[in-house]
A and B are shown apart, each in its own frame.
Chain A
Amino acid sequence: MAKVTIDDVTIEVPDGTTILQAARMIGGDLVPPAMCYYSKLKTSGGYCRTCIVKVEQGSAKDPRPMPKPVASCRTTVMDGMVVRNITSPEVLEARSGVVEFLLINHPLDCPVCDQAGECHLQDLAYEHGKEETRYEFERREFEQIDIGDKVQLHMNRCILCYRCVKVADQLTDGRVHGVLNRGDVAEISTYIQNSIENDFSGNVIDVCPVGALTDKTFRFKSRVWYTKPVDAHRDCPHCTGKVRLWYKGDDVLRVTARKDKYGEVEEWICNECRFDKKTTSDWVIEGPSKVDRHSVISANHYENLRVLKATIDRQKKALPHGEKVNLGQGALDPNNIHGK
């Protein structure tokens, strides 16, 4: 066990834990933001540098500070380590520099981008970035390439976090895409215009922190904040079938995996659930998803969703233990979900 102090909060964590994981164990606003680290993907992290923190004291045995900010997702804790994140102006300054670098080539096409509203880079830039860019040159641009009829790739928006590559490596067999070229011209691509076809390849959409990989079946259908998220499940032969449905009116516009407060999926879902099951009757609806109060997605009406939730809770109480509440077919009137 190692005792580590992050922003004056002390916690004891097992050896080998990274600073970022230790911060997440504490929780709250001292958790460094992360664009490339993904707790569900092995060897992720270490690319984007948004999670940098200052180590004031290396360990109890060697109390010297580390010479420069370190990536908290890749640095393991030592006993007696003292870390500063939001209480260090130096870290905040360095992080805003990192955001500026990430935005150098990122096109500001949020009004067009389907990810807008649930984009991690948007949140990061809003919280840590500067108002203006100092970059005067043309942004890097790639030719649009087609990687299949399910996933849309916008290479211009990519920040090269490698999350989708890790998904392809660790989740799917027969990976067909990766990072080609190096440096400024590095790009996510498939080898000779191959299309991505695999049962779990749709998860690259969920792990993408920006709008580089988006759902082609949802393309330009609606802005994220006009759709209402509802948790649902089904018996799926490939995955757990626990998903989030995004409703607009009576239509399921999009199916995604459920995401936790760090924007990471709770359970991977298969392509059948994601792309092919888009009617209410395919799903057993569990209730409205919890949306962060400050999220733009909650900038809509939830009165009737609350009523629906209350109904489900009441039914749960009335039913004997272990019985599932099925509001899937008939019982659920989608009109009641959308604040009509």
Chain B
Amino acid sequence: MPLTNRSEVVQPSELSWSERLYLPAILKGMFITFTHLFKRTPTVKYPEQKRDIAPVYRGQHVLKRDDAGAERCTACGLCAVACPAEAITMESAERNKGEESLYREEKYAKIYEINMLRCIFCGLCEEACPKEAIFLTDRIVPTTFNRGEFIYGKDKLVETLEERIDVSDRQRPEVLKFKEDKKHKHNKTFLDKTTTAKRGH
């Protein structure tokens, strides 16, 4: 049964003599290919040559550490609930005594995974994050042959202490200024807290 009354059965018309030769069509096609030799190439040779991308390009995520090197993420789950592709999963754990320099808050993400095959790089996680922990960067997620390797855990997402990833381009001047203000508890790192405690406040 037809789904609509607008469908038509296509009847291929009889080919003429010249069409049956196929030669004119082949020559026409080859001519088009030939003219492309003299046109500007729209592609770049990717790994050697890289295209300029916008400073706010949304590529591979990074989980930031604060100035003292403690992980900012507290596994609040807002990124995961904001994620339209449901690419983010996490499991939280409680910070033990002595780990204050590793994790900012009393709760931290024990497991934090982003499935890069599901991710649509919309940046809503970045927008939802109340702790300035997750940012999208201008790095491109490399391809692999294995699906499992696209599930990025904390080993790939958290920035290392040696190789900090600069995301200041992504933040408005007002935000950066706010973050400088150590009066807000939110901006204080573990080191700030210990030094003020020593001063006897």
* Chain A interface residues (CB < 8 Å from chain B): 109-112, 116, 139, 219-223, 225-226, 296, 299
Contacts and interface: CB of A to CB of B under 8 A. Distances in A.
Given A111-B130, A226-B80, 10 more contacts: A110-B76, A111-B76, A111-B78, A111-B107, A219-B94, A220-B92, A220-B93, A225-B77, A296-B81, A299-B81
A223 B109 CA distance: 12
Given A219-B94, A220-B92, A220-B93, A112 B78 contact: no
Given A219-B94, A220-B93, A112 B76 contact: yes
A116 B81 CA distance: 13
Contacts of B130: 110-111
11 contacts: A110-B76, A110-B130, A111-B78, A111-B107, A111-B130, A111-B131, A112-B74, A112-B107, A220-B94, A225-B77, A226-B80
B106 interface: yes
Contacts of A226: 77, 80
B159 interface: no
A223 B82 CA distance: 14
A112 B106 contact: yes
A112 B77 contact: no
B10 to A, nearest CB: 40
Nearest to A296: B81
- Interface range on chain B: under 10, 10 to 19, 20 to 34, or 35 or more? 10 to 19
A67 B31 CA distance: 93
A225 B130 CA distance: 17
A112 B185 CA distance: 15
Given A111-B130, A225-B81, A116 B92 contact: no
A220 B108 CA distance: 9
B42 to A, nearest CB: 42
A2 to B, nearest CB: 46
A109 B94 CA distance: 14
Contact of B107 (A220, A296, A299): A220
Nearest to A109: B105
Contacts of B92: 220-222
A144 to B, nearest CB: 9
Nearest to B106: A112
A111 B81 contact: no
Contacts of A296: 81
Nearest to A301: B86
A111 B94 contact: no
Contact of B74 (A111, A139, A221): A111
Contacts of A222: 92
Interface in B91-108: 92-94, 105-107
Nearest to B131: A111
A83 B78 CA distance: 40
Which A-B residue pairs are the 10 nearest by beta carbons? A111-B76, A223-B77, A220-B92, A112-B107, A111-B74, A220-B107, A112-B105, A220-B94, A111-B130, A112-B74
Contacts of B77: 223, 225-226
A24 B80 CA distance: 36
A110 B74 CA distance: 10
A276 B185 CA distance: 38
A320 B147 CA distance: 52
A139 B188 CA distance: 14
A133 to B, nearest CB: 11
Interface in B110-156: 130-131
Nearest to B77: A223
A223 B107 contact: no
Nearest to A136: B183
A173 to B, nearest CB: 33
B107 A116 contact: no
A118 B80 CA distance: 18
A175 B106 CA distance: 30
Contacts of B81: 223, 225, 296, 299
A116 B107 CA distance: 14
A221 B107 CA distance: 10
A116 B130 CA distance: 13
Nearest to A300: B81
Nearest to B93: A220
B201 to A, nearest CB: 8
Nearest to A299: B81
A159 B114 CA distance: 37
Given A116-B76, A226-B77, A111 B105 contact: yes
B108 to A, nearest CB: 9
Contact of B76 (A139, A219, A223, A299): A223
Contacts of A225: 77, 81
B185 to A, nearest CB: 8
B109 to A, nearest CB: 10
A137 to B, nearest CB: 11
Contacts of B94: 219-220
Nearest to B133: A111
Nearest to B130: A111
